Amino acid sequence: MAILQDFSRTGLFDSSNWWSFLIVAGSALVADYVWMLYWRWKMPPGPFPWPIVGNTFSLPNVKPWYHFEQLSKDYKSPIITFWIGRNPTIWVNDAWAADELLVKRAGIYCSRPRMLVFAELGAGQWNLLNMHTVTPAQRERFRVQRKLTHQGVGVQQVQKYRSFQNDENKVVALDLLKTPNKYVEHFERYATSVVSIIGFGRRISKATDPLITEVIAIMHQAAALNVPGKRFPMLLETFPILAKFPNWMAPWKHGLGKSGTPRQGNNDFFYSLAEEANEREQDNYSKLVFKEGPKYGLHPREVSALSGNLLGAGSDTSSSTLITCVLAMRAFPEALSAAYEELDRVVGGSRSPDFTDDLPYMRAFVKEVFRWRSVAIIGGQPHAPIQDDYWNGYLIPKGSWVQGNVWAIHHNEREFPDPDRFNPLRFMNGPDSRPFPGEKGYMTFGWGRRSCSGQYLAEQGTFLSVARLVWGFRVDPAIDETTGKEIPVDIFNYTDGLNWRPRPFKVNFTPRTEEIRDTIAREGEKALQDLAPFEGETKYQFSTFYT
C-alpha cells in the first residue's frame, strides 16, 4: 500500500497522464492503419486487413497456397495482396504474370525482403538464399556466391557428373529389387549420395548414414517452418518486435538462431565437412571453394553456406520428386503404356536407359512429374523489388514480399486442363498442350536471378532416374493382408512444408521382365564397383554441432 501511495504522489497514476498516453497511442494506431489502407488502395486487390495484424489470422493452418489460389479466383486477379502484419505480400498466381515480373524484370525483383525467421534469426546475410541485393556491395557478394555455385552445378559442369550419377541410379534400381518396400530410403540415399560426391568427394552407401538421417530431418523441419503462418515461430513475421526479446525469456524463439557448438579452431558443421573434403584425394566442390576463397575474400560462414546449400537443396528435393513419380505411376497407370512402348522400342531389356537415348515421351513424362506436384510448392524464398514497380496500374512497393504460387500456376485450367490428372501429353505439342511462357513448360525451379542454381543437376538426374524406374518396374497396388483388397493412394495426401512430398503410401514394385531383372542386377553390381573410389567416412555429425 505504501508503494502505491508513493506512485500516487509521483503522479504516475494521475488520470490525466493515462488519458494522454491513450490518446497518443490511439492516434498512432489510427495513423498507422490509415497508412496501411492508403497503400492497400494503390496495390493489387486482396482481403481487407486489420490494424497491426493485417490478414495474418485468416491464414489456414496448413497449405496456404490453396487459400491464395482461391483468393486470386475470388478477386479475379492473377496477383493479390495479402498482409502479414503490417507487411504486404504480393502473391503471383499466374504463369504469365510471374514471367513478366520475376523473369522479364529480374533486375528489379532480384532481392530478398527482410525475413526474421530464416534470415536475421538464422543464416543472416551470409547465405545466398537470404541475401539482400539492394546496395552495390550486397550485389557483389551475391554475384560471387552465385558464380561459385554455378561453377559447382552450372549447366556445363553437371555434364561431368553424369557417370557417377548414372552409377548411383543403377544402385537404386538394384536396391529396389532387394527391398522394394524401402523405396523412400533408397531415393534419399541416392539423392544425398550424388550431392555428397559432388560437394565432398564421398558417397553415401547406407540409408542410415547420419548425413541422411540428420540433415534431411533438418530440411523437413525447416520446410515445415518456412511457410506463412499464424503460429510461432512464423508469427514473428507479424510481430517483429517479439524478436527483440532475449532467448531465455522468449519461448516463441525456441529452435531459431542456433549458433551451434563449434569444435576448437573451427566453425559449424558444413564448414567442417568442407574443410575435411578439401583434404580428400577425390576432386570435389569444396576444394574449389577453398581454392577460390582467398580471391573473393570468403568468410567461413560463406564457405559453410555454399557447401550446405548444395547438400540441403539437392538431397530432399530430388528424393521427394522421385516419390511423387511413384505416386503418379500408381495412380495413373494409363500414362505408362506409351512409356513402355517407347522404352521397349528404343532401349530394350538388355541394358537400361542412358543420357544418349532419344525418348521424347519420357522427357514429357518427366516434365509432367515436375509440373504435377512441384516440390518447392511456392517457389522457394520470396522475392523483393529493389524499387517501386507497377503491374497493370497497381503498385508493388520496394521491399515488399513477392511470392510465386507454383501450385496455382501449375494448376491453372487455362494452361493445364484437368490439372490433377497426370498427363505427359501436355508436353508433346499435340491437342493436349497449351501455350506457356518460357521454354520448359513449367516453373518448378523459380524465376530470374533467384531461380534454383541446382536445377540443371536436378533435371539431369530426374530424367535418368524416372526413365530407369519406368523401364525397370511396374508399380502395382499394395494388397491389404487382412482384407485382400487393394490399398488405395491419395494424390492430395502431401506434407505441409514449403518443400512438400507425399505422405507414406504402399505400393508393389515388380520387374517388368526377367531380362530386365537380370540387367538391373548386373548393372547394379558393376556400378558399385565403379563407385568404390568414392567410399569413405566422415568424422562429423550434425547432431554434435547443434543441440
What are the 10-residue block averages of pLDDT along the chain, 547 residues in total? 48 66 77 90 97 94 96 98 95 98 96 87 86 93 95 92 97 98 97 95 92 80 78 81 77 56 59 93 94 95 91 85 98 98 98 96 98 95 96 97 98 97 96 94 95 93 97 97 95 94 97 98 98 92 72
What is the residue range of 376's domain? 43-544
Residues 6+ positions from 547 with CB-CB distance below 8 Å: 258, 261
- Is 19 a domain residue? no
- Is 468 a domain residue? yes
- Is 38 a domain residue? no
For strand 473-477 and strand 401-404, is the pairing parallel, antiparallel, or unpaired? unpaired
Q: Domain with 477 in it: what CATH number?
A: 1.10.630.10
pTM listed for this prediction: 0.93
Q: Please answer whether residues 115 and 228 qualify as being in contact, where contact means their C-beta atoms are separated by less than 8 angstroms.
A: no
Count of structural domains, the chain:
1
What is the Cα–Cα distance from 261 to 448, expressed in whole angstroms? 36
- Is 27 a domain residue? no
Kindly state the helix (H) or strand (E) to which residue 260 belongs, with its residue range: none
Measure Cα distances from 324 to 155, 318, 332, 368, 375 in Å. Answer: 25, 10, 12, 11, 9
Helix (H, G, I), strand (E, B) or coil at 268: coil
Q: Does the annotation place 325 within a ligand binding site?
A: no
- Is 35 a domain residue? no
- Is 413 a domain residue? yes
Helices (H) and strands (E) in the chain, counts: 17, 7
- Say which residue the cell 539492394 belongs to: 134
Neighbours of 244 (CB within 10 A): 7
pLDDT of residue 144: 96
pLDDT of residue 254: 60
pLDDT of residue 262: 43
Q: Please answer whether residues 146 and 427 qualify as being in contact, where contact means their C-beta atoms are separated by less than 8 angstroms.
A: no
Supply 66's cell numbers.
Answer: 490453396
- Is 394 a domain residue? yes
- Is 231 a domain residue? yes
Helix boundaries (H) for 226-375: 269-277, 285-296, 300-331, 337-346, 360-372
Tell me the longest C-alpha to C-alpha distance in the chain: 96
Q: Which strand ranges, in their side-by-side order, compose the sheet holding 401-404?
A: 79-84, 87-92, 401-404
Q: Please answer whether residues 122 and 107 qualify as being in contact, where contact means their C-beta atoms are separated by less than 8 angstroms.
A: no
Extract the runs of DSSP E, i.e. beta strands, from 41-113.
Answer: 79-84, 87-92
Supply 123's cell numbers.
Answer: 543464416
Residues 6+ positions from 2 with CB-CB distance below 8 Å: none
